[in-house]
Amino acid sequence: MPRTSSESIVFVISGPSGSGKTTLWKRLLKEFKDITRSVSVTTRPPRKREKNGRDYTFVSEKKFLEMIRKGEFLEWALVHNHYYGTPKKNIENAKKKGLDIILEIDVQGAMNIKKSGIKAVFIFVAPPSLNVLKNRLKKRGDVSDEEIRSRTEIARKEMSYIWEYDYLIINRDVEYAYNDLKSIITAERLKTFRAIKSLKI
């Protein structure tokens, strides 16, 4: 689909672990070559199959704190005892290239972006219920019962931020949810104040 706007849009996506948000944006990046994503910096150790620079930039706590001090982050937060942050340069680079950019960040980070006044589109991906979320986490197989309990509790807290978001995708079925996400992208690109920029009159 050709772009109708020349301005970069920042899309912030949040949602509980197990909501399916990562699957959705990964699919979007495959289809839309004019959307990029922000690779976050974290102090959490890499998981199996994760690659430095692709999934995250993995750094020591010392390095992360130094980056905070130098003002290199657009936002950062402590999530599940590890630091996570969005480097300012990710947004700057996307802007230079004229690409829209996706930030998959937690609710605290999203709220910090909102407070900072940066213009962004906020999308929340929710499971249809906490029970569905529990069952999805169980199916993953690699999550202990204790972790399932704690993640469900965290999810409950995260869901209380839903009203702060511009859009809510309830992920009952991945095909429908993906179509919802694409509709949001298209609707935002077609907003008159953006689309008008490519109108030649």
Provide the binding-site residues for ligand 5GP, judged by CB under 6 A. Answer: 17, 40, 44, 75, 77, 79, 84-86, 104-106, 108-109
For the CB of residue 120, give the shortest distance to ligand 5GP in the complex, in Å.
13
Taking the least distance from each CB to ligand 5GP, the nearer of 5 and 75 is 75
Alpha helices per DSSP H over 60-144 = 61-69, 88-97, 107-116, 130-140
Q: Residue 132, Cβ neighbours under 10 Å: how many?
A: 15
For the CB of residue 44, give the shortest distance to ligand 5GP in the complex, in Å.
5
Taking the least distance from each CB to ligand 5GP, the nearer of 151 and 189 is 151
For the CB of residue 173, give the shortest distance to ligand 5GP in the complex, in Å.
22
For the CB of residue 199, give the shortest distance to ligand 5GP in the complex, in Å.
35
For the CB of residue 192, give the shortest distance to ligand 5GP in the complex, in Å.
31
- 94, with CB counted inside 10 A (0-12, 13-18, 19+), is buried
Residue 74 three-state SS: strand
Residue 159 structure tokens: 């869901």
Backbone dihedral region for residue 193 (phi beyond 0: left; psi -120 to 50: alpha; all else: beta): alpha
Q: How many Å apart are CA 81 and CA 83, to the nearest integer?
A: 7
Residue 112 structure tokens: 């910090």
For the CB of residue 80, give the shortest distance to ligand 5GP in the complex, in Å.
6
Which residue's CB atom is positioned nearest to ligand 5GP? 109
Taking the least distance from each CB to ligand 5GP, the nearer of 44 and 182 is 44
Residue 10 structure tokens: 């920042």
Axis-axis angle for helices 174-189, 21-31 (nearest 10): 60
Is 13:25 a contact under the CB 8 Å cutoff? yes
Taking the least distance from each CB to ligand 5GP, the nearer of 75 and 188 is 75
Taking the least distance from each CB to ligand 5GP, the nearer of 5 and 10 is 10
Taking the least distance from each CB to ligand 5GP, the nearer of 39 and 195 is 39
Q: How many Å apart are CA 40 and CA 43, to the nearest integer?
A: 10
